[in-house]
Chain A
Amino acid sequence: EAQVTQNPRYLITVTGKKLTVTCSQNMNHEYMSWYRQDPGLGLRQIYYSMNVEVTDKGDVPEGYKVSRKEKRNFPLILESPSPNQTSLYFCASSLRQGKGNEQFFGPGTRLTVL
């Protein structure tokens, strides 16, 4: 089944404890991205990657890191999480980097930082 998977689905952590949220897609997609969803704000893009070893900042990159060493994986790293990073996170992918390509979303990771 074609899909985007994320792990973990739920995570409660404390301020300053480094964490990684994994994302993997099995559709051979070039483009991958991370979003956070907050009530009343919709989705905001954190980082995106047009292909292996190519990443760039989205609208809200502060406090996050990403890497794209393999085409299928795009982990999101929070080096020192803070309470304002409590949110619902989505990974997404699309076939190509073109603006007309729709995105496929993972099931989401609900992160709480205490």
Chain B
Amino acid sequence: AQSVAQPEDQVNVAEGNPLTVKCTYSVSGNPYLFWYVQYPNRGLQFLLKYITGDNLVKGSYGFEAEFNKSQTSFHLKKPSALVSDSALYFCAVRGGGSYIPTFGRGTSLIVHP
């Protein structure tokens, strides 16, 4: 069975500082990895994905994520956080023989002015 872990319920960072939101996964076969963001009272929005190729994936709003196969991780990063980045972030994985994606529990990112 596939699984996703987001070990931090909440991440706090000061505006202008780099941010990292962690995600580790477990799946048989090649993983298809995604990050989504959810702003208050909104649906999820796609940020970026890893399918194959370069381990560093760039996405929307200046976010990027690094795929690390040996550590089975797909951490979300941004060099300089903005207050407007404050939201709930979800990591998701698809893989193996299943079309059903598995989502993490979500990490609340709070960027302080």
- Write the residues of chain A forming the contact surface with B, with a CB cutoff of 8 angstroms: 4, 35, 40-45, 48, 50, 58-59, 90, 92, 97, 99-100, 102-108
Inside 8 A of A59's CB, which chain B residues have their CB? 100
Inside 8 A of A43's CB, which chain B residues have their CB? 44, 90, 92, 103
Q: Among B11-19, B45-53, B69-77, which stretch is in contact with chain A?
A: B45-53
* A42, A59, A105 — most chain B CB neighbours (10 Å): A42
| CA distance in complex: A106, B45 (Å) | 9
Interchain CB contact under 8 A, B99 and A99? yes
Inside 8 A of B46's CB, which chain A residues have their CB? 102-104
Interface size, chain B (Cβ < 8 Å): 23
Interchain CB contact under 8 A, A99 and B44? no
Interchain CB contact under 8 A, A42 and B42? no
- Write the residues of chain B forming the contact surface with A, with a CB cutoff of 8 angstroms: 4, 32, 34, 36, 41-46, 49, 51, 90, 92, 94-95, 99-101, 103-106
Interchain CB contact under 8 A, B90 and A107? no
Interchain CB contact under 8 A, B99 and A102? no
Q: What residue in chain A is nearest B47 (Cβ atoms)?
A: A102
Contact of A100 among B36, B49, B104, B105 (CB under 8 A): B49
What would 10 more interface pairs be, CB under 8 Å, given A40-B105, A42-B105, A90-B44? Answer: A35-B103, A42-B90, A43-B90, A43-B103, A103-B46, A104-B46, A105-B44, A106-B43, A107-B42, A108-B43
Inside 8 A of A45's CB, which chain B residues have their CB? 100-101
Shortest CB distance A7–B (Å): 14
Interchain CB contact under 8 A, A41 and B105? yes
Assess A105 versus B49: contact at CB under 8 Å? Given A40-B105, A42-B90: no
Q: What residue in chain B is nearest A110 (Cβ atoms)?
A: B41
Interchain CB contact under 8 A, A42 and B106? yes
Inside 8 A of B36's CB, which chain A residues have their CB? 105
* B45, B90, B106 — most chain A CB neighbours (10 Å): B106
Assess A99 versus B90: contact at CB under 8 Å? Given A41-B105, A42-B106, A48-B100: no
Shortest CB distance B55–A (Å): 16
| CA distance in complex: A58, B102 (Å) | 10
Interchain CB contact under 8 A, A100 and B44? no
